[in-house]
Chains A and B, each alone.
Chain A
Amino acid sequence: MSAPALADERLAPTSLLRRLLGRPELGAVVGAAAVFVFFSFAADSFLRASSLSTVLYSASTIGIMAVPVALLMIGGEFDLSAGVMVTTSALLSSMFSYQMTANVWVGVLVSLLVTLAIGFFNGFMLTRTKLPSFIITLGTFLMLTGLNLGFTKLISGSVSTKTIADMEGFSSARALFASQWNVGSVTLKVTILWWLVLVAVATWILLRTRAGNWIFAVGGGADAARATGVPVVKTRIGLYMGVALCAWISGQHILFSFDVVQSGEGVGNEFLYIIAAVIGGCLMTGGYGSAIGSAVGAFIFGMTSNGIVYAQWNPDWFKFFLGAMLLLATLLNAWVRKRAEAK
């Protein structure tokens, strides 16, 4: 007779249900469904196609940043400078183009390089000093906040930038970063496309490439990863530069969508990105999570913040509802994950 079939349980085929339960974003998907059903009943206008496109836009502006922030969290680090970095990037493009009277695209490219350099700085300082990322990026956050204000005031004499809408290259740059399509009564923004592409690319990197393995390894335990030959320094710097790249995309969207940028914007948004990643199943301790989860997290955020308006609740309680919904979604997420892990 042949040997017993179950020689190694790790090689045993797993059922679809069990594989599904092991996914990090499962809890978030259940949470998103719950929020969706809730607002479908609570707000008459929530289910209209035009309303859903508003929700999607709102989600995409958070989601574009939640993707790299999720990857960074899987790699075991934080970035508190992500929110103001978006503003920095928008200010840079606008002010460089204006002051140099350059084609808008030149400003956009300069901004890309400087923003990537800030990301590089975060990663480099982190790996060099071995200080916690909380301290490093808090320092960057404060410095950028100050630089945004100081530089804008110094250069343009006021705290918001001057309009660059009448400059060459503006319309083509707007087409790339802030265009929209009207399908009937529905307006779809290009940020939704950027968001989907970023989620797809990040998922591919995480699950199909060597770099993805490195990210999980670094987040799971840097020393063990280093011992097995994972380039820890390179991976971390790369992750921070990923955040910078997406901050640049978001910054350009804000610039070309709203034309004038105020230097005080962006403060506090870093928490929204982290919240989206955490709701989406990223562990605060690193080594676990997904890019798709961050997208679902951003979607929950978009539904909640706009659903409250659609439901026409008393606005005095806006922040309370928002906080309670987010907390509930995260709790549900944690509960589902615990159930999944117990199986």
Chain B
Amino acid sequence: MARVRTGVRVMGAVLAAVLGASLVGCSSTGGKRAEERAKTAQAGRPAVNTPRWTFAMVTHAGDGDTFWDIVQKGAKDAAAKDNINFVYAHDDQAQQQAQFVQNAIDQKADGIIVSLAKPEALKDVIAKAVKAGIPVVTVNSGSAQSAEYGALTHIGQDEQIAGEAVGAELTKRGRKKAVCVLHEQGNVGHEQRCAGAKKAFGGTMENLYVEGTNMPSVQAAIQAKLQADPSVDSIVTLGAPFAPTAIKAKDAAGSKAEVDTFDLNASVARDLKSGALGFAVDQQPYLQGYEAIDLLWLNRYNADVLGGGRPVLTGPQIVTGAEAAELEEYIKRGTR
């Protein structure tokens, strides 16, 4: 035992030494200091004096999803402005998601925002909320079912339409053979995006499934695909984090294919600016969160309903190198 305790002490000493050294071993470029220099003051005070209503948001996001992070940020910003108590819960299992909606009903939330990735599983619980007089807004996925289930409005991007925008853009760019990289096998939205792209694309398009939780294997799989078929001249990834990896795979395979992607993040903006990426399709997740809260507030305050039973689309917006520079700072602060 004594030996073990010595080990702990030695480790503690080394750790302390390294922490001390870190104060000396500073980086004069990048890092938090650079971020703080660039940061501007942000507002966060309510702009209205309506009662402090509670709005609950329940999504199908998995753990650690960058996309839903931005949705949440939009919702939080709107909640701060509208004097709303914002509650958030998420689970990628539909059953658990339904349970969270039920919890919101039990807590007598003043409004519920829900994403319908697996609509059937949430049908009953949404009906309960509507029956209890709680206004429901659906976001992101489920545009087809939203009105039928009794939601006020649907805010989001139609995946099929977004896919078609990609297909049309690829055709415009004179591409002949594309690969659609799906990082989650069995995700309906992903299938719809690729199907939409395939439909609107003049050339041929194939699907490639990769293991989204394992970046090296994503790279290897794309590399393998390009090596197997040198005639591929464009790669479309369905999530921003996979775009830089696709670029690496392309370079390693010695391919001349153009890489394009759905969604934005800082490295996508950087690669758009440098020309390593052709274009990105943004569905503006910040808007999905922000508008959902704002519309619920408008409904409570003024009985407003937007969309007239039709989905309110937040995308697709095609972003190229020309717009990337402007968007970069918004991406950095986490709102694009």
Contact = CB atoms under 8 A, between A and B. Distances in A.
B14 interface: yes
Contact of A315 (B3, B34, B208): B208
A19 to B, nearest CB: 35
B40 interface: no
A106 B25 contact: yes
Contacts of A106: 18, 21-22, 25
A270 to B, nearest CB: 11
B299 interface: no
Interface in B179-234: 182, 185, 206-209, 211, 213-217, 219-221, 223-225, 227-229
Interface stretch (B59-67, B118-126, B301-309, B311-319): B59-67
B35 interface: yes
B7 interface: yes
Given A103-B25, A162-B35, A187 B252 contact: yes
B22 A96 contact: yes
B29 interface: yes
Nearest to A169: B27
B32 interface: yes
B240 to A, nearest CB: 9
A97 B31 contact: yes
A54 interface: yes
Contact of A104 (B3, B27, B35): B27
Question: Do most interface residues of chain A lie in helix, strand or loop, or is the interface mixed?
Answer: helix
A90 B197 CA distance: 35
A54 to B, nearest CB: 5
Contacts of A180: 252
Interface residues of A, number: 80
Contacts of B216: 57-58, 61, 191, 253-254, 257
Contacts of A163: 30, 266-267, 270
B261 interface: no
B217 A48 contact: no
B26 to A, nearest CB: 6
A117 B11 contact: yes
A50 B22 contact: no
Contact of A237 (B4, B19, B22): B4
Contacts of A191: 216
Nearest to A234: B3
Contact of A185 (B62, B64, B209, B254): B254
A263 B220 contact: no
Contact of B11 (A61, A120, A305, A309): A120
Contacts of B241: 160, 260, 262
A103 B27 contact: yes
Nearest to B64: A264
Chain A CB within 10 Å, residue with most, of B207, B215, B224:
B224
A285 interface: no
Contacts of B70: 158
A152 B31 CA distance: 15
B64 A302 contact: no
B185 A167 contact: no
A110 B215 contact: no
A263 B185 CA distance: 20
B224 A51 contact: yes
B107 interface: no
Contacts of A99: 31-32
Given A98-B32, A110-B19, A124 B208 contact: no
A338 interface: no
Nearest to A53: B252
Given A51-B227, A101-B27, A306-B220, A266 B32 contact: no
A233 interface: yes
A140 interface: no
A260 B267 contact: yes
Contacts of B30: 98, 101, 163-168
A21 interface: no
Nearest to A57: B220
A303 B34 CA distance: 44
Contacts of A319: 185, 209
A102 interface: yes
A101 B26 contact: yes
A272 B254 CA distance: 28
8 contacts: A61-B216, A101-B34, A106-B25, A148-B64, A233-B4, A258-B248, A262-B64, A312-B228
The 4 closest A-B pairs by CB, nearest first: A264-B64, A101-B31, A58-B220, A167-B30
